[in-house]
């Protein structure tokens, strides 16, 4: 069992629907230990393994090995081989499995087995949120059946099964506000009823990432529950005031034209801004990776320039109908009125990053008219408050999806801090 600096056993976490680790990152930072992460996507699971190894190496004063990997000096296989004393256990604790009726019982047994092997008496905290596509208002608007028949509506049943099996003192369930209205509200009400029947007191709030020093507007439902005998209360999360702008997290990155950049190491063009330092997004040892621009055809680039010009001169978003005729490709101009959007550098927060960015970058246009391109993986990761030393595994499309689906680490860190305070009493 892992102990913290004071010699006290670390609080143990079970990470459900873990994604690329945005929510778990905050708990890592606050010295929680993980008995298991469960994630169905193979690339996200590899990202989780890499990040868990980062924290283990950091705790053991061995980060030089990790940075050798970021710099391309050693392969991932060699990194894991040279750190076998840690990496084997980390990999066995990341379950790349889709949670279903068939896999529930085997997963629970495997996790219970790990608990015995690690002399772990209990799970203190359970975190995670099932896929949000079925609950998303945008997702429902795109589906002709409004996601009514989508099986992902009922993924919360699995979450509740694991709650019943492990009985954590406290749990964190995160999802989009659309969960309130999914199937006319019956989904959320049924979930609360089932959880409360297990002996948990629940409370939920809509939290905005922008209040957690994240330069992005991102509203999410954060449902917390605790065993009724614990007598806990939902923590307060005071908004962090600041005077930073979106440009403060982009200015040190080398300008790119479409197709420029690379997956590997590049040089920063400026020292880190005050925001990057205060947020921890860029540290002294960090190197710039995964900063490569998509290729765009000239028509799209011209549309991007139009959108940027209108923002710069009128401080408003472009309407598809006002584009020059030669640039229009869609007959239905009403449906595409908000198709292109600039991530404005002169605002204190960007608009919400979503996984759709993996399909095209039209909704996330870089504010520099000379670049006239969509955002890179590293730029989107920064908007989500991921540090530059966070390596996303897999191809670029998967990297965008992993980032778009994640909880911003600065937000999860504050949640973890409050959970630790509650449990330590």
d(CA 338, CA 91): 43
Beta bridge partners of residue 288, listed in sequence order: 266
Cβ neighbours of residue 177 under 8 Å, at least 6 residues apart? 137, 206, 219, 220, 221
Cα-Cα-Cα-Cα dihedral of 116, 122, 124, 130, to 10°? 60
Query: What does the DSSP 8-state code read for residue 216?
Result: B
> How large is the C-alpha radius of gyration of the chain?
22
Cα 349 to Cα 1, 242, 305, 324, distances in angstroms: 41, 11, 21, 29
Q: Is 218 left (phi over 0), alpha (psi -120 to 50) or beta?
A: beta
Active site residues: 132
Q: Using N-to-C axis directions, what is the helix angle for 42-59 and 84-92, rounded to 10°?
A: 140
d(CA 231, CA 226): 8
In this structure, what are the phi and psi dihedrals at residue 363, rounded to the nearest 5 degrees? -90, 0
Strand segments, DSSP code E, in 233-309 are: 261-262, 291-292
Q: Nearest 5°: CA angle at 405, between 35 and 87?
A: 35
Q: Nearest 5°: CA angle at 32, between 26 and 34?
A: 100
Neighbours of 345 (CB within 10 A): 18
Q: Are strands 170-175 and 261-262 parallel, antiparallel or unpaired?
A: unpaired
Beta bridge partners of residue 126, listed in sequence order: 14, 171
Structure tokens at 147: 């996601």
**Quick one: which of 277, 221, 210, 228 has its CA closest to 248?**
277
| Burial degree of 342 (CB within 10 A; 0-12, 13-18, 19+) | buried
d(CA 308, CA 299): 14
Neighbours of 79 (CB within 10 A): 19
């Amino acid at each position: 069992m892992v102990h913290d600096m004071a010699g006290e056993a670390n609080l143990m976490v079970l990470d459900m629907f873990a994604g690329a680790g945005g929510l778990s990152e905050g708990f890592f930072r606050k010295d929680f230990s993980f008995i298991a992460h469960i994630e169905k996507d193979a690339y996200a699971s590899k990202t989780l393994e890499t990040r868990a190894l980062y924290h283990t190496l950091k705790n053991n004063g061995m980060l030089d090995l990790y940075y050798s990997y970021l710099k391309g000096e050693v392969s991932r296989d060699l990194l894991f081989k040279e750190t076998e004393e840690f990496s084997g256990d980390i990999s066995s604790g990341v379950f790349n499995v889709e949670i279903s009726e068939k896999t529930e019982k085997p997963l629970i047994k495997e996790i219970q087995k790990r608990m015995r092997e690690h002399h772990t008496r209990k799970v203190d905290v359970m975190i995670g949120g099932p896929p949000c596509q079925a609950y998303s208002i945008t997702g429902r608007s795109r589906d002709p059946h409004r996601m009514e028949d989508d099986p992902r509506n009922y993924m919360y049943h699995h979450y509740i099964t694991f709650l019943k099996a492990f009985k954590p003192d406290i749990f964190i369930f995160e999802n989009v506000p659309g969960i309130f209205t999914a199937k006319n509200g019956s989904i959320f009400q049924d979930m609360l009823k089932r959880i409360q029947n297990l002996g948990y007191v629940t409370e939920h709030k809509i939290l905005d990432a922008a209040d957690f020093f994240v330069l992005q507007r991102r509203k999410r439902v954060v449902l917390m529950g605790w065993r009724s005998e614990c007598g806990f209360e939902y923590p307060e999360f005071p908004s962090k005031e600041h005077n930073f702008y979106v440009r403060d997290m982009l200015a040190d990155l080398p300008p790119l034209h479409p197709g420029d950049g690379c997956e590997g190491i590049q040089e920063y063009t400026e020292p880190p801004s005050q925001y990057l330092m205060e947020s921890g997004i860029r540290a002294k040892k960090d190197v710039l990776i995964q900063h490569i621009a998509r290729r765009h055809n000239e028509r799209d680039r011209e549309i991007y320039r139009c959108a940027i010009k209108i923002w710069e001169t009128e401080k408003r978003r472009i309407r598809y109908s006002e584009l020059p005729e030669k640039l229009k490709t869609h007959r239905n101009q009403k449906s595409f009125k908000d198709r292109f959007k600039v991530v404005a550098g002169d605002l204190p927060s960007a608009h919400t990053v979503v996984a759709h960015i993996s399909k095209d970058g039209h909704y996330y246009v870089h504010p520099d008219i000379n670049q006239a391109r969509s955002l890179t993986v590293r730029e989107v990761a920064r908007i989500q408050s991921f540090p530059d030393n966070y390596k996303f595994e897999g191809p670029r499309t998967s990297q965008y999806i992993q980032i778009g689906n994640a909880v911003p680490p600065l937000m999860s860190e504050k949640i973890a801090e409050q959970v630790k305070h509650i449990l330590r009493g």
